[in-house]
Amino acid sequence: MKMRYDVAGSGPTLVLVHGVVHRRQAWDPILDLLTPYRRVVTVDLLGHGESPALEANVSDPLGYVVDALDDLLGDFETPDAKPHIGGNSLGGWLAIAMACRGRVASATALSPAGFFVNDLDRRRAIGTFRVLRTLARGMGEHAPRLLSYKAVRYPAIYAFFAHPSRVPYADAVVDTASLVSNTFVDEGLDAVFELPVAAEPQVPITIAWGRRDLTLPIYERAVAKRNLPHATFITVPGVGHVPMSDNPELIASILLAGSETRTA
């Protein structure tokens, strides 16, 4: 099952993967900062954006998404080079999984999912998405009008963005609608985020965590460090869970540095 994607720019290939209920346009705030240096592929995961919905009764929705992303990476692999990958939240975890499989030249993860400190922490994170979904459903058909008021829009998206004022109104409307309709919130959030055994531990992995992340707080970084001791860790001040609009220049620089071609 093929996923929808866009390609822009020139240079080494960098595939960018969004988080739960987002879409490939989540990378728009930084796209123009990347395309002079990278051929950037922005993808809609299955069940998101313009990609096909997850098939009904899939026993392992997360594994299904992993395999679909693996297939897509093959389209951008050449005999001489593998693509680089970057991701946010669920996309960050997927990027790391692709590095562990040895499918990419490098992986850069922004506040990756799947590194909960305990079951209570996991349930807190899942509960955040489900509470936000309930609130979005409560707005119903009035959501576009209600979100036109900053007093409604800013609190509604504050769990994801440290600077809600930098998120365009149209994006907030689309993201709210996705919260309501996205099936992965129900089917995939309870998945066990178990990384494959690293096939190529020499694949460079960079993990950057927003200091103001309220969805997957920075304390989860300790679990990631135990599981991925060879990764490079960066603390990013002043940004939230979805940091691309919070500080476009800084996030673009992290992705560019993480996807630099290494020489032996």
| Extents of the domains making up the chain | 5-117+193-258
Total-model pTM: 0.93
DSSP 169-192: HHHHHHHHHHHHH-SHHHHTTTS-
Output the pLDDT for position 201.
Answer: 64
What is the pLDDT, as a whole number, of residue 90? Answer: 93
- pLDDT, residue 264, reads 47
pLDDT for res 74: 94
Q: What does the block give as tokens for 136?
A: 């979005």
Model pLDDT, residue 197: 58
DSSP SS3 for 222: helix
Beta bridge partners of residue 108, listed in sequence order? 86, 206
From CA 124, how far away is CA 5, in angstroms rounded? 32
Domain with residues 5-117+193-258, CATH architecture: 3-Layer(aba) Sandwich (3.40)
Q: What is the pLDDT along the chain (264 residues), one digit of tens a residue?
A: 689 999 999 999 999 999 988 999 999 999 999 999 999 999 999 988 899 888 777 778 888 899 999 999 999 999 889 999 999 999 999 999 999 999 999 999 999 999 999 989 988 988 888 888 888 999 999 999 999 999 999 999 999 999 999 999 999 999 898 888 877 776 656 666 777 655 556 899 999 999 999 999 999 999 999 989 999 999 999 999 999 999 999 999 999 999 997 654
Tell me if 241 sits within 8 A of 210, measured CB to CB. yes
